[in-house]
């Protein structure tokens, strides 16, 4: 815990004279007391000037004693000072000139700090806090904590560097040193001041791990070109990135500042930094909630429904899709911006999914509502199921992002069971197909089916049919139940795909076979957890 001492005096004087605000001055004097930064602006200004006046004071009777409650201090100073304009709600107002010699600060509105460009001035005030909270409240999000992220214009780093060099030089003259890391970071100090205010207004705590993010982007167009000299000094730091408006990103500027030599820097940039005319502007105040994930299993009862929307050249080929039928209601309830649908494998348009259904997960992006009880999820499931007879969902629940991995591993590793209705050209009797039941672990070589060859690479896949069970229907039809390895093309196993899947039902029966109907009977993945609905 440090406060201002004798040795800080020349720095304070120097920075004040060159147009730096009280809070930045505290930062450069390595003052680590958070509370001090939260004092009203005018009080800090006053106390600093008071500090400068007390030339003869000893070290222990320091003005910036943190233990003293601020109001007591003000009253004391008031009786000493005499008249002064005290504005009670802490808004910035006129400050008297520093009367210690050559530099005279104009008796007008508060000058914008040449280091923080107003971030630690105007943007710590209650008015700005109110503005942010208004934005948050009108956006109508559900949240229990928040993380406040701030984007500062890159030239602030440049000005910070210039100020540091200025102070370092002064300290050298006094035989002292100042490490860059000892200076309090601007963003840190800003958060010290604004977090409690935001927390109070919003009624929830600030939490670095919160999923609800309030972000503000600051810009200072007046000084945007100040970074440009770095491009000539360190050209390799500034690569033209695609889709980015400016090459001078914060990261690039910081990198360049690390590389550039002190004298080069001083050659191109004024030290101390120049006085800006205007404050920063808060260009964007945005809210964003972290994605939530809803998982479940779906059954598909239609032979005319694609899993994802089927649109060619802007024209929809088939009405609706599995993902739309499920997501529509979730989007409405969670009030999300968009969704990402994924499932453990998929089936063709004309294939039904029976049994326990196929696991799926939907990522809801930037949801306004995030808390749902098990009851509410059940009701949501019912709503989806009532809205369509083409699909049904079960085990609908909220899951974590890591859960998606479990679902995808099911796609590659787990087995599936199917039921196929098969036609043969030559007549068959019961005895002709009975032998199929005895075949175990049948190895197939499947070339990429012709029907997907236009969009998949040509390859040969080895897949295994674990078991089969046949059901004779008539001389030209039978039903086959199969349990296969994940990734097996069932249709091609039945008709042979021009002989490119070997063996196939046709070759096994020595006839020409074709598939009339296919159903997925089960997807053998034990995720998501079964709920007792």
Partner 1 sequence: RICVITLAEAHPLLQSGKTIKSINYQISANCSRLQNKVSGKSKRGAQFLTELAPLCRISSSDGEEYTIYSCIRGRLIEVNENILSNPAILQEKPSTEGYIAVVLPKFEESKSVTQGLLTQKEYREVLLKRLNSSS
Catalytic residues: 348
CB nearer partner 1, residue 426 or residue 451 = 451
Distance from the Cα of residue 479 to its chain's centroid: 50
Listed in order, strand segments (DSSP E) in 211-347 are 212-219, 281-289, 292-300, 311-312, 315-316, 338-343
CA–CA dist 137, 451 (Å, integer): 53
Instruction: Specify the stretch interacting with partner 1 by CB under 8 A; choose among 28-36, 160-168, 413-421, 492-500.
Output: 492-500
User: Looking up tokens 């085990």, which residue turns up?
Assistant: 395
Instruction: Specify the stretch interacting with partner 1 by CB under 8 A; choose among 15-23, 160-168, 309-317, 451-459.
Output: 451-459
Task: Note whether 454 binds partner 1 by CB under 8 A.
Answer: yes
CA–CA dist 13, 405 (Å, integer): 59
Instruction: Specify the stretch interacting with partner 1 by CB under 8 A; choose among 51-59, 256-264, 328-336, 446-454.
Output: 446-454
Instruction: Specify the stretch interacting with partner 1 by CB under 8 A; choose among 57-65, 140-148, 320-328, 444-452.
Output: 444-452
Task: Note whether 498 binds partner 1 by CB under 8 A.
Answer: yes
Q: Which H or E run contains 446?
A: strand 442-447
Instruction: Specify the stretch interacting with partner 1 by CB under 8 A; choose among 250-258, 307-315, 329-337, 494-502.
Output: 494-502
Task: Note whether 496 binds partner 1 by CB under 8 A.
Answer: yes
CA–CA dist 286, 522 (Å, integer): 45
To partner 1, the closest distance from the beta carbon of 503 in angstroms equals: 13
CB nearer partner 1, residue 135 or residue 495 = 495
User: 399 to 418, contacts with partner 1 by CB under 8 A?
Assistant: none
Handedness of CA 511, 512, 518, 522 (dihedral sign): positive
User: Looking up tokens 């600051």, which residue turns up?
Assistant: 218
CB atoms within 10 A of CB 100: 14
What are the structure tokens assigned to 499, written together? 């002989």
CA–CA dist 438, 467 (Å, integer): 8
- Please list, in sequence order, all residues whose beta carbon lies within 8 angstroms of the beta carbon of residue 313, skipping any fewer than 6 positions away: none
Member of 245, 315, 458, 532 binding partner 1 (CB under 8 A): 458
Task: Note whether 315 binds partner 1 by CB under 8 A.
Answer: no
To partner 1, the closest distance from the beta carbon of 450 in angstroms equals: 5
CB nearer partner 1, residue 174 or residue 450 = 450
To partner 1, the closest distance from the beta carbon of 406 in angstroms equals: 28
CB nearer partner 1, residue 338 or residue 507 = 507
To partner 1, the closest distance from the beta carbon of 431 in angstroms equals: 25
CB nearer partner 1, residue 70 or residue 449 = 449
- Please list, in sequence order, all residues whose beta carbon lies within 8 angstroms of the beta carbon of residue 353, skipping any fewer than 6 positions away: 298, 299, 300, 347, 519, 520, 523
Task: Note whether 460 binds partner 1 by CB under 8 A.
Answer: no
Instruction: Specify the stretch interacting with partner 1 by CB under 8 A; choose among 22-30, 105-113, 298-306, 456-464.
Output: 456-464
To partner 1, the closest distance from the beta carbon of 457 in angstroms equals: 5
Member of 126, 450, 462, 473 binding partner 1 (CB under 8 A): 450
Phi, psi of 80 (to 5 degrees): -75, -45
Task: Note whether 426 binds partner 1 by CB under 8 A.
Answer: no
CB nearer partner 1, residue 90 or residue 449 = 449
CB nearer partner 1, residue 316 or residue 456 = 456
Count the site residues for partner 1 by CB under 8 A: 13
DSSP sequence for 351-372: -EEEEEEEEEEEEEES-S----
To partner 1, the closest distance from the beta carbon of 116 in angstroms equals: 53
- What DSSP designation does 206 have? B
To partner 1, the closest distance from the beta carbon of 451 in angstroms equals: 8
CB nearer partner 1, residue 76 or residue 450 = 450
User: Looking up tokens 């998501």, which residue turns up?
Assistant: 528
CB nearer partner 1, residue 72 or residue 454 = 454
Task: Note whether 457 binds partner 1 by CB under 8 A.
Answer: yes
To partner 1, the closest distance from the beta carbon of 527 in angstroms equals: 30
CA–CA dist 365, 292 (Å, integer): 7
Cβ(213)–Cβ(145) below 8 Å: no
Beta bridge partners of 148: 214
CA–CA dist 178, 194 (Å, integer): 27
In this structure, are strands 513-523 and 416-424 parallel, antiparallel, or unpaired? antiparallel
Member of 221, 235, 405, 499 binding partner 1 (CB under 8 A): 499
CA–CA dist 177, 183 (Å, integer): 12
Task: Note whether 345 binds partner 1 by CB under 8 A.
Answer: no
**CA torsion angle 448 453 457 462 (round to 10):** -10
Task: Note whether 453 binds partner 1 by CB under 8 A.
Answer: yes
351-to-166, 346, 418, 515, 521 alpha-carbon distances in Å = 74, 10, 10, 11, 10
- What DSSP designation does 513 have? E
To partner 1, the closest distance from the beta carbon of 393 in angstroms equals: 33
**Interface residues toward partner 1, by CB under 8 A:** 447, 450-451, 453-458, 496, 498-499, 512
């Amino acid at each position: 815990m440090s406060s201002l001492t004798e040795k800080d005096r020349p720095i304070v004087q120097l920075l004040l004279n060159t147009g730096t605000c009280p809070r930045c001055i505290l930062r450069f004097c390595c003052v680590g007391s958070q509370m001090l930064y939260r004092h009203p602006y005018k009080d800090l200004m006053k106390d600093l000037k008071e500090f400068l006046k007390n030339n003869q004071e000893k070290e222990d009777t320091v003005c910036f004693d943190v233990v003293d409650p601020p109001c007591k201090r003000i009253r004391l100073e008031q009786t000493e000072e005499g008249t002064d304009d005290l504005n009670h709600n802490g808004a910035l107002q006129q400050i008297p000139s520093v009367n210690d010699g050559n530099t005279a600060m104009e008796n007008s509105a508060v000058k914008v700090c040449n280091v923080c460009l107003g971030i630690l001035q105007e943007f710590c005030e209650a008015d700005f806090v109110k503005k942010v909270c208004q934005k948050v409240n009108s956006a109508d999000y559900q949240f229990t904590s928040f993380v406040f992220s701030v984007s500062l214009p890159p030239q602030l780093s440049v000005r910070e560097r210039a100020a540091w060099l200025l102070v370092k030089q002064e300290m050298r003259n006094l035989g002292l040193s100042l490490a860059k890391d000892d200076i309090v970071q601007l963003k840190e100090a800003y958060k010290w001041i604004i977090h409690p205010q935001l927390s109070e207004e919003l009624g929830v705590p600030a939490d670095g791990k919160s999923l609800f993010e309030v972000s503000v982007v600051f810009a200072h167009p007046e000084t945007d070109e100040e970074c440009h000299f770095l491009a000539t000094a360190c050209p390799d730091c500034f690569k033209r990135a695609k889709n980015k408006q400016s090459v001078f990103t914060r990261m690039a500027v910081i990198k360049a500042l690390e590389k550039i030599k002190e004298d080069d820097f001083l050659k191109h940039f004024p030290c101390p930094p120049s006085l800006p005319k205007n404050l920063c502007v808060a260009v964007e105040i945005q809210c964003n909630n972290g994605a939530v994930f809803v998982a479940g299993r779906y059954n598909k009862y239609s032979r005319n429904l694609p899993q994802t929307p089927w649109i060619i050249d802007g024209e929809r080929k088939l009405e609706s899709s599995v993902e739309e039928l499920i997501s529509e209601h979730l989007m409405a309830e969670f009030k999300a911006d968009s969704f990402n649908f994924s499932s453990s494998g998929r089936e063709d348009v004309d294939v039904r999914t029976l049994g326990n259904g196929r696991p799926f997960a939907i990522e809801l992006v930037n949801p306004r509502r995030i808390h749902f009880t098990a009851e509410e999820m059940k009701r949501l499931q019912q709503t989806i199921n009532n809205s369509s007879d083409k699909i049904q969902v079960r085990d609908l629940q909220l899951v974590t992002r890591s859960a998606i991995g479990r679902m995808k591993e099911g796609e590659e590793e787990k087995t599936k069971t199917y039921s196929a209705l098969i036609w043969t050209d030559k007549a068959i009797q019961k005895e002709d197909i009975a032998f199929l039941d005895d075949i175990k672990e049948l190895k197939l070589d499947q070339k990429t089916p012709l029907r997907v060859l236009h969009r998949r690479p040509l390859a040969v896949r080895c897949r295994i049919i674990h078991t089969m069970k046949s059901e004779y229907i008539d001389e030209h039809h039978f039903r086959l139940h199969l349990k296969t390895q994940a990734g097996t093309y069932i249709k091609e196993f039945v008709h042979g795909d021009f002989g490119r899947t070997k063996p196939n039902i046709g070759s096994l029966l020595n006839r020409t076979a074709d598939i009339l109907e296919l159903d997925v009977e089960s997807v053998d993945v034990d995720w998501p957890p079964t709920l007792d609905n």
